[in-house]
Each structure stands twice: as structure tokens, then as C-alpha cells.
Amino acid sequence: MQLNISGHHLDITDAIKQHSEEKLAKIKHHFDHVININMILEVAKDVNIAEATIHVSGADLFAKAESNDMYASIDQMVNKLDTQVKKHKEKLNDHRKN
């Protein structure tokens, strides 16, 4: 799994990078076929925005979250992605049974 983290109007600190990697490991735990993750962290006025695109076998999944805290934004975004990955995995399994 390749992880690319970039920041807009924000310096990516080691703490933010480590937090992101730990949270994204949860997605890797649920679905092994994650090829690439592009994450963009942005600060716009008082809002911290975290968005990510995951390239998995058969689909591209996208999620975006906003909050006052960057760590909370990352957590919300990862939860959204995790839900999408689970749904994608169920679709793959359902198609194989038919």
C-alpha cells in the first residue's frame, strides 16, 4: 500500500503523519487489496479539511471531512472510507456468489 500525504496551507508534522498511518491501517485490516491512498490535508480559515482517494482493485473511493480539529477531521474521513471499503468488499463477495 502506497500512502501520499500532502498539505495545503499546512505543514505535515510527524505526529499528523503517524496519526494518519495508524488510522488508515484500520482500512488495510478490512481489505487487503488497497493499492494507493492519496490524502490531502487543508486549512481554510477556521476549518480543517481532510480528504482522501483510495484506489482499490475495481474502484476508486473518495471521502472528505471537515471540523475544527485536524485529528477529528482525519478520524471522520477514515470512518467514511472504512464504510465504503466494507461496502465495496461486500459487493465483490456478492458478485462471486451469483
Query: Residue 13: what pLDDT?
Result: 92
Please tell me the predicted confidence (pLDDT) of residue 49. 95
pLDDT at 95: 63
What's the average pLDDT block by block, 10 residues per block, for the chain (98 residues)? 88 92 85 85 92 88 94 94 89 69
**What's the topology of domain 2-97?**
Double Stranded RNA Binding Domain (3.30.160)
How far is 70 from 48, CA to CA, in rounded Å?
5
Rounded to two decimals, what is the model's pTM? 0.87
- Strand-pair category, 2-8 with 59-67: unpaired
User: What pLDDT score does 77 carry?
Assistant: 95
Q: Where are the domains of the chain?
A: 2-97
